[in-house]
Structure 1
Amino acid sequence: MHSFDVFHHYERKHWRLADVPWDTIRRDLVRPEYVTMAKSAVMGEANSIAAQHGFLNEFDDYDFSAFVAVWGYEELQHHFAFRTWLNAVDAEVRESAVSAMRAPYDPGTTPCATLATNIISELTVNHVYRAVASWVEEPVLAGIMLNASRDEAGHAREFLHFARIRLQRHPEELPSVLETLHVYTGEQRIKHPVGVFKSELVALRDHETIDTAFEMFLEKVADAGELDKLQDNIRRAFSALTGMDVSSNARVRRRLAEALA
């Protein structure tokens, strides 16, 4: 059972909030942009509860469900790590905004599309967290960002594993995978499921969201061509998943047309 191996791997490399040196936070280095980034991260990570709900309802596979339980714990840890840092610098997160994230997602057009969406979200956050960790000068927040980034890379790897198995068993779901890739990489902006499905919630008005972080990332952190690098990385992962050349939007559309023919 793959989740059994994943559990043992995570247990060996897992970091703990208790090991974060909270008493070394450099308040003199905290900038308003860091607070905005951390609040936005809290809102993105708050969706792990809703996502677990959806996964466990949509999939009846025990192995994947066991992985989801491990994944959900790590995502909740990210949420609590960012909130602990914010509390330490006297920044408030609105509880009503966090609570609004509890509503479960609707299932994807196919189970493989759901997995594909999560591959994209993990790769996106991994990329952004890693870059922000290098940009942030406050060392404790930078460390949290780096640890979370590493976790997200591992999560993407496991979602790819389960998507590959699902696609082998259900090749008819290939068009939904290609369609998902096109939806999230077909525009010159960062798209994330939390932003796509929950940005219009009333409780989020006048509050930071995950899209706030992505906009700030592109404006203040990203190098020239950073979005292209992120999208190329996502397409490479989907090329490995599908065995197809999906290295550009045009190629994604062509593969999708062929799969639907």
Structure 2
Amino acid sequence: MHTYEVFTHYERNHWKLSDVDFSAVRGDLVKPEYVAIAKSAVMGESNVIAAVHGFMNEFVDDYDFSAFAVVWGYQEVQHHYMFKAWLEAIGEGVDDAPVEAMRAPYDPGTTPSATLATNIISELTVNHIYRRVATAVEEPVLKDLLLKASRDEAGHAREFIHFCRERLAKHGEEVASVLETLYVYTSDKRIKHPVSVFKSNLTELADHETIDTAFELFLAEVADSEELEELQGKIRRVFGQLVDRDLSSNGKVRRALADVLG
């Protein structure tokens, strides 16, 4: 099984939270926006439990992917705890109530391939943002954690791409749902993430940082004028390779979808 290879690779090479020296956090270098980003990341990463639950429900007939979902979930929980630990190191508490509100599982996607496609977008987005935010952060421990998370998310994206490609090879009828997912997440000038789309309207989050808080800070404080276009372009290229089509613009995504449906 593919996930056996993934698991053994992670086991050999993955970092440990217990090896992070949180006593080395430089409080004098912490800025308010770092706190907001870390709190937003805690919320975004806490969604892992809902996602794993959803995967187990939707992929009940796929042991290999389900095993990957468990491995992936462990690493995403690690991200949740690392940002929480950094916040606690600077004396910032984390309210459990908003985290608890994220627990409900996702409903199944329009197709299993669409669910995998959604997670490809999720991983590519946070990989890009964590990496770029790390370049602007001066506090060394947070910078290192952001880079660790960014590398993890790149690996996760690679595996979701693998499983989506495998799924589409067996279920070509699901290509349209993948194109629809791409269009939903890249058709306007906003950063969209599944947690934002499906969870940001929870009443428990009304007075708390959400993943959108981090996106807004990223666009305001870190991103250059071409940043969103660069991110969306990368996502479209990945999807173009998945379905063997030119998806380099929204118009081409629409035309590809029309061809598939027509």
TM-score (norm 1): 0.99
CA distance in 2: counterparts of 1:240 and 1:11, whole angstroms: 29
> Separation in 1 of the partners of 2:240 and 2:10?
26
Are positions 1:46 and 2:42 aligned together?
no
CA distance in 1: counterparts of 2:40 and 2:24, whole angstroms: 23
Q: Does 2:24 correspond to 1:37?
A: no
Q: Find the counterpart in structure 1 of residue 204 from structure 2.
A: 203
Listed as ranges, the matches of 1:29-108 within 5 Å are 29-59=29-59, 60-108=61-109
What is the root-mean-square deviation of aligned Cα atoms in Å? 0.5
Residue 14, structure 1, aligned to residue 14, structure 2: yes
Match of 1:227 in 2: 228
**Code of the aligned partner of 2:8:** H
**Counterpart in 1 of 2:249?**
248
State the shift of 1:50 in Å.
0.3
In the TM superposition, residue 199 of structure 1 has moved relative to its aligned partner by 0.8
Question: How far has the Cα of 1:93 moved from its partner?
Answer: 1.8
> Following TM superposition, by how much is the alpha carbon of 1:91 offset from its aligned partner in structure 2, in angstroms?
1.0
Other structure's SS at 1:218 match:
helix
How many residue pairs get aligned? The number is 261
Identity across the alignment (%) = 67
1:5 aligns with 2:1: no
Deviation per CA, 1:191-242: give whole Å up to 9, x if none. 0000000111010011000011001100001112000000001011101111
Q: In the aligned structure 2, how far is the partner of 1:156 from the partner of 1:205?
A: 30
Query: Hey, what's the Cα distance between the residues in 1 that align with 2:149 and 2:207?
Result: 26
Please report how far the alpha carbon of residue 179 of structure 1 lies from its aligned counterpart in structure 2 after TM superposition: 0.2
Alpha-carbon distance in 2 for matches of 1:123, 1:32: 26
- Residues 115-168 of structure 1: CA deviation (Å, up to 9, x unaligned): 000000000000000001111000000000000000000000000000000001
Question: Residue 4 of structure 1 aligns to which amino acid in structure 2?
Answer: Y
Distance 1:64 1:131 in 2: 30
Deviations 1:77-96 (Å, cap 9, x if unpaired)?
A: 00000000000111122111
Partner of 2:126, secondary structure, is: helix
Rounded to whole Å, the distance in 2 between the matches of 1:25 and 1:127 is: 24
